[in-house]
């Protein structure tokens, strides 16, 4: 009897933990800050040919913590890769945000990309992230959690 009860309690605890993991993965910010969640989201975006949003977001995170003497080079690189019209991984920014960025790119500061990064985060949160939550990629991430 006691052994059966222990097994049931153990199963209940395991089920509760999986539910907590699912709740955790339902928050984009948590996924982006979790190694296996980030990897699963990246693979999912790659399968949808929309990985550029995540790559831009990650580049902005790197930029934000970079030494100020490297910011101009990094800003230029981010613009040529993601912001400029016809960039190889051009992200979907509104014209106003894009133009504002391009005006200040020659004298960047730590928060140069904040508005653009927030717009892309919102785009991922509203568009690709809900699809990710319904995908097998998300299920695999939960199993790996």
Q: What is the CATH number of the domain that holds 106?
A: 1.10.167.10
Q: What is the pLDDT of residues 74-94, one digit of tens each?
A: 999 999 999 998 899 999 999
User: Where is 43: in which H helix or E strand?
Assistant: helix 35-47
Q: 61 is in which domain, residue-wise? A: 5-144
- The pTM assigned to this predicted structure is 0.79
Integer Cα distance of 83 and 116 in angstroms: 9
Q: What is the pLDDT of residues 93-103, one digit of tens each?
A: 999 999 999 99
Other C-beta atoms closer than 10 Å to the C-beta of 115 total 14
Number of domains within the chain: 1
């Amino acid at each position: 009897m006691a052994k059966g009860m222990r097994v049931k309690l153990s199963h209940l605890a395991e089920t509760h933990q999986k539910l907590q993991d699912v709740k955790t993965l339902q928050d984009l910010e948590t996924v982006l800050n979790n190694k296996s969640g980030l990897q699963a989201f990246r693979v999912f975006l790659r399968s949808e040919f929309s990985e550029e949003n995540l790559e831009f977001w990650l580049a902005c995170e790197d930029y934000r913590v970079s030494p100020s003497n490297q910011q101009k080079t990094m800003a230029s690189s981010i613009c040529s890769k993601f912001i400029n019209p016809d960039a190889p991984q051009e992200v979907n920014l509104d014209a106003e945000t894009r133009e504002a960025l391009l005006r200040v790119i020659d004298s960047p500061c730590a928060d140069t990309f904040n508005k653009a990064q927030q717009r892309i985060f919102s785009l991922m949160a509203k568009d690709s992230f809900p699809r990710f939550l319904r995908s097998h990629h998300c299920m695999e991430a939960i199993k790996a959690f």
